[in-house]
Structure 1
Amino acid sequence: MRYMVWVPLLMNLAVVCGAPALARRIPYRVRPGVLTGTAAVAAVGWLWSLALLATSLAERLPSLGHRLDLPVPGPGRTAELPPAAVGACASAVVAIAVVTLVVATVRLARELARAERLVRRLPAGRVHVVAGELPDACAIGGVTGSRIMITTGLVDCLDAAERAAVLAHEQAHLAGRHHWLRLVVACCAATDPLLRRLPQLVEAACERWADERAAQPAGQRTVLARALGKAALATLRASGTAPRAHASATGSATKPDSMPDSMPDRELAPGFGAGPTACGFDRGAVPERMAALLAGPPRATGSPAWLLMSTVVTALVLGSCVHASTDFLTLLRWY
């Protein structure tokens, strides 16, 4: 208990320091899932270790332990427990983490509900064009389905082949269920403040994954890279004067005849915001993505060092949590 309870907390520091390098070494096919899984394991270990440290405070304070109906450790056993100050700090951090997680969960649930309402109101199987000068496209994921939305600004600045590449990119987001990964890692970052950079890494990994899936047909790498560059330049030109996406969505690029008249404009917000339910096309790392596309298909890495590293981190976090819990139960004579 005295030593093993700190291992998950130290592993959080290792994840924070090593995640960027790990993300560069992981093959793009598994990068979003591995990063999300690593964040989940780190967050669980963080919260569980802090909970053990917080519970140890009750054993240091007999009156508190009596109120919680906890057994009293045997003679000399309290020396093996963490100091009372550590337990008090851990209690405060756990309380803050739980409140932050609840707030984040409620906020994410509302965003998911808004996305689901939008998905249900739009007809299935069609690309919906939204009036807006800023070039943008996104895949909106709900609970029961998903939709692709694109602005007229992006339609106007791309040719037919480039538009097809953008739509293939958004279809790849839907195929990879990336909005669920982003929801999970957002909850992990809310629980563990050390993981606040992981959502950006996961988002970048999802964009890279979608780029590669969309660029698999011959000749599409250059087309998609060109579409990224055009969209980025058009965004720079229009961002100073144009409003964000607005007005009505349609089932085609002409008349808005497939959208109910009663649908308020705010229902479109999840599709063009930075929420985790919407995976956008040109929302970051555009030069790096263009360079990766123009460099050709990624090479297969022969060294599975990333897999070994991820396995070691997971084993250390979960093993130390189990070991610390067993020690703590032994101290309380629960065995």
Structure 2
Amino acid sequence: MRPFDFTRPDDLEGACAAGFTEGATFIGGGTNLIDLMKLEVMAPAHVVDVTRLGLDRIEDEGDGLNIGATVRNADLAADPRVRRRYPVLSRALLAGASGQLRNRATTAGNLLQRTRCPYFQDRDSACNKRTPGAGCAALGGEVRNHAILGTSEHCIALHPSDMAVAMRALDAEIEVRDPEGGMRSMDLDHFYRLPRDTPHIETRLEPGDLITSVRLPAPKGDRQIYRKVRDRASYAFALVSVAAVLRMEGGKIAHAAVAFGGIGTEPWRDIEVDAMLTGETPSDSLFDKAGEVLVQGADVQDGTAFKVPLVQRVLKDVLWRAVA
């Protein structure tokens, strides 16, 4: 690990100002950042601790919730309001990492975690995400845990978050404070950037921007399912995961929001899938068609071909469970 400066501001203004300095990065729980600093994949000159800014509360906001950026994953999963009104989020959090990591990891840090692509973490391998223009060693390499949607010729790295998948299905919005004191909101559809030819730019945050909270609107569906398929029962990233939020009226699907992990370069959601489910009567043919629409245009490598039928089967199972 390379030497770095460390500061712990007492207010948002000081945190954003410190984060705006060259080579600075924010730290919450550090469960991802510290690992990457040890590998020297990330070598910030200035680490800014944001854990003492009062961003660790979960508050009611109308019919929704406002979740502070430094709320721990374990606390969020256990909150009675989350368990009762947003069970898909609680289940996704509990499916991620280990109890020890959930006790430390934060809400904003989970959204911002970097890929677990082994070529990204290996400084001897070519990686456009780590070193722009270096190439992508994953292409033609071992890609079992890589993406099939949202990829480009420059990067096929997978986004690893479970929590963010549930957040996408719940239409979460991120509150951001900039160094000038301005506030803005971004939904997750806009927050992440596809790799295209700049895979090292992963979000639409600017230097000094600080996530202050995540807002969840009132749940639009009471039938919420999260299913994660992985190589072992715990402490493993998703090969495929599906978060579904549905509402039934008169035997038809009145609302459908489905998001996916393990297949996209960002927590994935396809509005065409949601639209084709909404207003329809559940059936095998409908759910099969939704799976076909989801994977149309998938970028399949030799090591990721299994994800196409797998995600289609998991989606169909989750939808049947949700409407049952």
TM-score range, shorter chain: under 0.3
Please report the TM-score for the alignment, with normalisation by the length of structure 2: 0.23
Larger radius of gyration: 1
Larger strand fraction of residues: 2
Please report the TM-score for the alignment, with normalisation by the length of structure 1: 0.22
